[in-house]
């Protein structure tokens, strides 16, 4: 699978968002979504829904930076998000090549073994406070 990271975001009128990258199976777009930006993984040739989503602060540059260093082939999820509104968790096809990146995360994007930045996270015992 080849990932193409676009040098500039491409406007997608249907989704009312911007495509940042694409691979053989998905297009990765950011959308304004209430108080957040949502990065979504839209299946190629599908205009009805998305398979995975991650919420970010309302900073398009932050989302673009996270996607620019993300390899969806070996990394389950991009970095920097604070909420995962979709289930199940995305699994990269060759995830065994990036074991440090693909450690378990809580619903807020923090690696469980380091604790969560969110008070009373239901998944990360011993969360940093």
Q: Is the pLDDT of residue 127 over 50?
A: no
Is the Cβ–Cβ distance between 128 and 115 less than 8 Å? Answer: yes
pTM of the model: 0.89
Q: Given this model, what pLDDT does residue 125 score? A: 57
14-42 tens-digit pLDDT: 999 999 999 999 999 999 998 999 999 99
93-118 tens-digit pLDDT: 999 999 999 999 988 899 988 888 88
| DSSP code per residue over the chain | ---EEEEEEEEETTTTEEEEEE-SSEEEEEEEETTEEEEEEEETT--S--SEEEEE-S-HHHHHHHHHT--TTT-SS-SS-SB--SSSPP--TTGGG-TTTTS-B-TTS-BGGG--SSTT-SS-TT---
Phi, psi of 73 (to 5 degrees): -75, -35
- Give me the chain's average pLDDT, please: 92
**At 128, is the pLDDT very low, low, confident or very high (cuts 50, 70, 90)?**
very low
Q: Given this model, what pLDDT does residue 129 score? A: 42
* Domain edges within the chain: 4-93, 99-129
Is the Cβ–Cβ distance between 56 and 82 less than 8 Å? Answer: yes
């Amino acid at each position: 699978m080849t990932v193409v990271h676009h040098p500039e975001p491409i406007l997608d009128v249907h989704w009312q968002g911007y495509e940042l990258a694409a691979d053989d199976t998905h297009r990765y777009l950011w959308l304004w979504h209430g108080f957040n930006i949502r990065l979504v993984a839209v299946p190629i040739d599908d205009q009805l829904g998305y398979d995975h989503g991650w919420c970010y602060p309302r900073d398009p540059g932050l989302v673009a930076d996270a996607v620019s260093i993300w390899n969806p082939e070996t990394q389950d999820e991009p970095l920097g998000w604070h909420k995962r509104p979709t289930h199940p968790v995305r699994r990269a096809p060759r995830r065994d090549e990036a074991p440090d990146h693909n450690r378990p995360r809580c619903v807020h994007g923090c690696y469980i073994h380091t604790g969560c930045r969110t008070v009373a996270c239901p998944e990360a015992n011993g969360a940093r406070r």
